A and B are shown apart, each in its own frame.
Chain A
Amino acid sequence: MLARTLLLAAVAPGGEEEEEEVEVAVAIPPWQIALAGIGSGLVGVALAWVHPVIPALAAIPVIMWGADAVRRVAGYGLGTGVPSIGFMGLGGGSVAAILAVGLTNCVPGVVAAAIGTVIGAAIGALLGVLDRRVIKMKIPVMEQCSTEIVAAGTLALICLMAAVAGDFTWPAVYTRVIQTGVIAVLWVACALALLHPYNACLGPSETQERTLALGAECGSICSIITGLATLNPVVLLAGGIAWLISFWKFWDLTKRDAADVVWTGIVPRGE
């Protein structure tokens, strides 16, 4: 029965005739965001030994990349709500990120991070193929977006782990992030940062800029969490400033996209 299902799935067409491409309005092309995310993430991991604030802030563009990918795929309607894809991203991402930490025993940290991201992308591609070819979800961009989301989740988790550990090597990450249990907090923070922007902004007036601004804000909160985990005042301050800037940006864009912003006065007290 199972073998037959797999076999059928492999030979049968993916149901393209019923799929419809949905036009998603973008202000910034997705490839630019992806490039910026990968670049900043890898630079952040490479310079983690200088100061933890570098990887902590470098995670922000990575999270924006993930949030943009979530935005593109969730625009089709997943049927189970946006959170599921964010948790899937980090479910596969945590495995790939921990594998990347293990790889630092044999190769330099930044190379391990790059390999980890590729492993994450492979896991994401596998999940995407299973979702579209076997389960038959009617989403043409499922494979691509699932690949990007898991890769972004992996790289973001790697950056945050490097920020908390102060260096991206197995002994440092193992003793300061995994054994202490901080990884669970980073895991959930990353997952929420990926899924929240689109989940909060979705609707007919959703714009990419506003969603990305919220993504940057969520990323800043992740930086603040790494600051709290390490009790490093510089990371806390930098994360706080990044949060203020991104939140003001988001607030401005919210007012821009709103039909009107009016002051209603204080609600009158009842009888």
Chain B
Amino acid sequence: MGEAAKLNARGLGTAFVMLAIAFAMTAVKWTAVSKLIATLALIVYGSLLVNVGVHYVPVGGAPAAMATATGVGTGTTQLAAGSGLTGLIAAAAMSDKPFLVILANGAAGAALMIAITMLVGNLIYVYGVGCPPCSAKVDKDPITGWDQEPYVTPGTEGHGIPTVSFVSGILGGLLGGTGGAMTYYALYKILGMSAPLAGILAMGFFYANAVLASYNIGGTIEGYHDPKFKKVPKAAACSLAFGIVAALAAYYLSTCV
């Protein structure tokens, strides 16, 4: 198995398995099981999805804003929040539909938002700055197999958003949006909170998870082919711990009001 195939298997495999589990969870009739168990399961898995999803989003930070690193030129938190909150709003618009529709809508909203951000970013990098999208972390793009090294400007870590980062970003949007929608569903349908209350709490959980993930990344990541992607288990462990506390807090809140 070649290097590229390994990277693809790791990145695409993790994302698709997590998404498949998330959509399989819609088959369970959550309103029929115990409230505490349903809340714990949905919020903890939602946190996990958000946290892992952030690792897929190509974040370049300040260096990318100067086109000296691959990714979108802003911080992890802003990028994850921008797409995740769009997903949350998209999910909230489908509040009274079945669970599957809420999840799918959240995923589509977040993925669309991040795709537009990356596309417009790429237009600016290519036609405004005048640099070809390429990555310095891999020799060949794991998806297209195109050479990267000749296009990397010496002294930089790549620029723009190459194919692998773009695909990775869309996967990140799908994961983050699904996670946000799942948290929203748990708060709105299972715990019976009002839409604004569920929305603001889901936003709070989303931000805390996104920041934990961004501290794990430590600034910039190019997507699932980046060596930093190996750190995912640490962030996942954190999101499990935080998700349990968040679920208990939400459950307690729903009982006392």
Contacts and interface: CB of A to CB of B under 8 A. Distances in A.
Interface size class of B (residues with CB under 8 A): 35 or more
A119 B256 CA distance: 15
Interface in A85-131: 85, 87-88, 90-96, 98-99, 102-103, 105-106, 119, 123, 126-127, 130-131
Contacts of B215: 78-80, 84, 131, 135, 137
Contact of B217 (A1, A80, A94, A106): A80
A233 interface: no
B245 A126 contact: yes
A131 B212 contact: yes
A178 interface: yes
B240 to A, nearest CB: 7
Interface size class of A (residues with CB under 8 A): 35 or more
B156 interface: no
Interface string A183-194: 110010000000
A103 to B, nearest CB: 7
Given A135-B235, A178-B200, A83 B75 contact: yes
A184 B76 CA distance: 21
Nearest to B252: A99
B200 A98 contact: yes
Interface of B: 61-62, 75-78, 81, 194, 196-197, 199-201, 203-208, 210-212, 214-219, 233-238, 240-242, 245-246, 249-250, 252-253, 256-257
29 contacts: A1-B233, A80-B214, A80-B219, A81-B77, A83-B77, A84-B77, A84-B211, A87-B77, A87-B211, A88-B212, A92-B204, A94-B201, A95-B205, A102-B253, A102-B256, A102-B257, A106-B256, A119-B249, A126-B241, A126-B245, A127-B211, A127-B212, A134-B241, A137-B215, A174-B197, A178-B197, A181-B196, A183-B196, A183-B200
